[in-house]
Structure 1
Amino acid sequence: MTLPGPIDPPARLLMGPGPISAYPSVLRAMSAPLVGQYDPFMTQAMAETQQLYREVWATGNDATLLIDGTSRAGIEAAIVSLVRPGDRVLVPVFGRFGHLLAEIAERALAEVHTIETAWGQVFTPSAIEEAIVRVKPTLLALVQGDTSTTMNQPLDEIGAICARHGVLFYSDATASLGGNPFEADAWGLDAATAGLQKCLGGPSGSAPITLSPRAVEVVRSRSRVEAGIREEGDAAASDFVRSNYFDLGMILDYWGPRRLNHHTEATSMLYAARECARVLLGEGRDAVIARHRLAGDAMLAGVEALGLTVFGDVAHKMANVVAVEIPEGVPGDVARAALLDDFGIEIGTSFGPLHGRVWRIGTMGYNARKDAVLTTLAALESVLRRFGAAVPVGGGVEAARDVFAGAPA
């Protein structure tokens, strides 16, 4: 066998819907030396990370920590730990990732009810409340930002609706946290999860999660250890979390003061998650959100100036990603490949009914900056012209530059 050489990935500017190019300091943090999982340094780093993410989530929740795994690991941990078999779960679906929440809830043996709206739209609070009254769910599971459609579902009124009807409120903020407002306590969230690979500016592989005291109470009520359940045949065993790895009760004990063994912490990913939050809070949470809004506005102005049609309700678009209709006659996947091969820039297509119909262009994390936006627009203009699209020379770059120029100092 001939051994392959060391890892040497090509230079890429990741301007799709995620993953994105990580902050350089996050990559440096991941190369720090490993320590044992009960080393005092590790325990301190875990405690620091918890406090940092309380600030990121805007919460006072003690139960704020990381799930080792991609953002989907966080979603699954939240749902399987909060939902008992037979519980009713309501999922408003406005894109691919609403369907994912419904699937995970079904695997947790919930009675899943969905409501749907057209891709490119969001739900009104009244529509969600009407469904809650009709379904009477135990849990409402709602995506905030769905990158498949680029829509940002308003959450600020939903928590109060859930509280009125005694419903737990969970949101998947994988694509939105750090680049769009998120107020876990003020909005009445019982649980929320995210990932590092979008606006937080890190690699995929760690899932920040926060749980309200009410959610913790539900999680604790399902603990096999505290109830003395040892075998599946024991009474009420079906109430208990079927997963070992994603049992939040056990994970809370691992992150808590008792530091009970559950799994070996993914040390390098902990370092990455800590640095993502440290960078965000060092710049200022509001400042980072404003930077994402500015870069998103500039990219939006640029693609519109190139004559591209923006998909969906722009008023409810996430700040960090825009979807544009692929122009007639332009081979979408071939053009994306040319952008990657010739310029080292990656943008995305989409899922389901939007596959091959739109491109998704992200401006998030480390790449929510002027040079990344202008470089992407210049390259996109060149590729569009190559495939026969009539685009104004320099139009996208100039429109985006004007947005940056008009921003407050």
Structure 2
Amino acid sequence: MLLTQAPSFLPVLPPVNSAHRLALAPIATPHRLLLGPGPSNAHPTVLEALARTPIGHLDPLYIELMGEVQELLRYAWQTDNRLTIPMSGTGSAAMEATLANTIEPGEKVLVAVKGYFGLRLADMAGRYRAEVVTIEKPWGEAFSLEELEQALLSHRPKILAIVHAETSTGICQPVEGIGDLCRKYDCLLLLDTVTSLGAVPIYLDEWKVDLAYSCSQKGLSCPPGLGPFSMGPRAEAKMLARQGKVPNWYLDVSLLNKYWGSDRVYHHTAPVNMNFGLREALRLLAEEGLEAAWARHRSNAERLWAGMERLGLELHAPQHLRLPTLTTVRIPAGVDGKAFTSHLLNSHGIEVGGGLGALAGKVWRIGLMGYNSQPENVDRLLNLFESELPAFRPGAALAGAAV
């Protein structure tokens, strides 16, 4: 006998709502040369690694890869820190992890603010119920050891947080000596290395840095999605001595260590393909060598700086504090900076960033990071500034109409 209706044990479902159903072609993105503040273009070898067939996040081969990634991150940061891992999340996740694991409610955190990302550190620290104290410098300057020591003496914080490579200003904060001050005043040193790791000299152990974080999409030549994190012994001891649980389960390093440590206990489903990519990015960095990578970034930055000045453009950061990875160029008077960067993107496929916060509308931000730090990219951009920018200067339209 044929059944004429669905069996009674199957649920009766309502009609499917197709209002949001789209009929799309396969994704097709244009090629862009990303010379803004990030992300930068990933190395082709890294992209090939991302496309490999996934394996399980507890597969013995993946566990072996985890160890390789950790060891190569230690090389990139010049540290022996045991707790050095890539957080499953962007650089902001690693940023938050440094604070979530070490702040207890009511503790004083001193944030040295000299740009947009110092403000973000202060915001995050406050969300973990720290007593946040800030000291500030104009967006284009760095802190002296004397200024930092005076603040440590006055406020006696548990943590001093400072940005090494301030992406909003193009300023590279000198770090030598700050770790010694933090030990003198019994506090931890937390360092943002988002726009410096892999491209600018960093010596976590030599500088006595207790906590550091970065991202995958800048100097490491990998797409965004992972947040390198490193915790030194002093910070680890503070975390283990805390009175309550870390108030962020996903970023709790005491739990993550059981997965990334020798136990390899399941914590979350790691983004295995992103770690394939990071492994290759770090392998390529080790193959080039840190000193060679640092020198390459410096050489190409100096090529850009000299070229911009030849064109009569003014650089925002003083030369002795300039980042090799991120250059801030002051927008000439009367020029619509956003219109020019839109033109570069839409007509030439090149991304250049605008200013943030106090520098919004005042500077362009040009990134030369990782795979993108190449002389041919510098020359291409300089040629476009020379040939295209005059049309955006005051009076250009009138001059064109007169001709």
TM-score (norm 2): 0.91
* Residue pair 1:71, 1:195 contacting (<8 A) in 2 also: yes
Shift of residue 268 of structure 1? 1.1
8 Å CA contact 2:162–2:192 kept in 1: the answer is yes
The within-5 A match list for 1:187-336 is 187-222=207-242, 239-336=244-341
Deviations 1:107-127 (A, max 9, x none): 010000000011100000111
Q: CA deviation at 1:294?
A: 0.4
Number of equivalenced pairs: 376
Matched, 1:5 2:25: yes
Distance 1:58 1:344 in 2: 36
Summarize the alignment of residues 154-165 of structure 1 with structure 2, pairs less than 5 Å apart.
Answer: 154-165=174-185
Residue from 13, 31, 34 that aligns with 2:54: 34
Q: CA deviation at 1:389?
A: 6.9
Distance (whole Å) between structure 2 residues aligned to residue 260 and residue 108 of structure 1: 27
Q: Name the CA distance, whole Å, in 2 between partners of 1:220 and 1:383.
A: 57
Q: Residue 354 of structure 2 aligns to a residue in which SS?
A: coil
RMSD: 1.4
- Residue 148 of structure 1, aligned match among 141, 164, 168: 168
Gaps of 5+ in 2: 1-20, 397-403
Aligned-pair CA distance for 1:314:
2.3
Provide structure 1 residue ranges, at least 5 long, that are not aligned to the other structure.
223-235, 392-409
Judge conservation of contact 1:327–1:389 (CA < 8 Å) in 2.
no
Matched letter for residue 300 of structure 1: W
Give 1:381's match in structure 2, choosing from 378, 383, 386. Answer: 386
Question: 1:141 is paired with a residue of what secondary structure?
Answer: strand
- Which secondary structure state, in structure 2, belongs to the residue aligned with residue 60 of structure 1? coil
For each residue in 1:29-66, what CA deviation from the matched residue of structure 2 results, as whole angstroms up to 9, or x when unmatched? Answer: 11111111111001000011111111011011111111
Q: Summarize the Cα distance change of 1:2–1:86 in structure 2 as closer, same or farther, 3 Å threshold.
A: closer
Contact 2:54 2:272 in 1 (8 A): yes
> What is the SS of the residue equivalent to 1:82?
coil
Deviates more, 1:95-104 or 1:200-209: 200-209
Question: Residue 339 of structure 1 contacts residue 380 of structure 1 at CA under 8 Å; is this kept in 2?
Answer: no
Paired residue for 2:10?
none
1:92·1:141 contact (CA, 8 Å) conserved in 2? yes
* Equivalent-residue separation in structure 2 for 1:70 and 1:186 (angstroms): 26
| 1:119 counterpart residue number | 139
8 Å CA contact retained: 1:84, 1:240: no
CA distance, structure 2, for counterparts of residue 301 and residue 44 of structure 1: 45
- Distance in 2 (CA, whole Å) between partners of 1:193 and 1:83 is 16
Q: How does 1:32-111 map to 2 (within 5 A)?
A: 32-111=52-131
> SS at 1:90's partner residue?
strand
Amino acid at match of 2:92: R
- Bigger Rg, structure 1 or 2: 2
Which residue is equivalent to 1:356? 361
Q: Which amino acid aligns with 2:361?
A: G
Alpha-carbon distance in 2 for matches of 1:383, 1:339? 9
Q: What is the TM-score when the length of structure 1 is the normalising length?
A: 0.90
In the alignment, is the contact (CA less than 8 A) between 2:58 and 2:266 conserved in 1?
no
> Counterpart of 2:148?
128
Matched-pair identity in %: 39
The Cα of 1:164 is off from its aligned counterpart by 1.1
Equivalent position of 2:347 in the other structure: 342
Paired residues of 1:89 and 1:139 also in contact (CA < 8 A): yes
Cα distance in 2 between the residues matched to 1:7 and 1:218: 47
Q: What is the rounded CA distance, in whole Å, between the counterparts of 2:383 and 2:325 in structure 1?
A: 19
SS in 1 for 2:42: coil
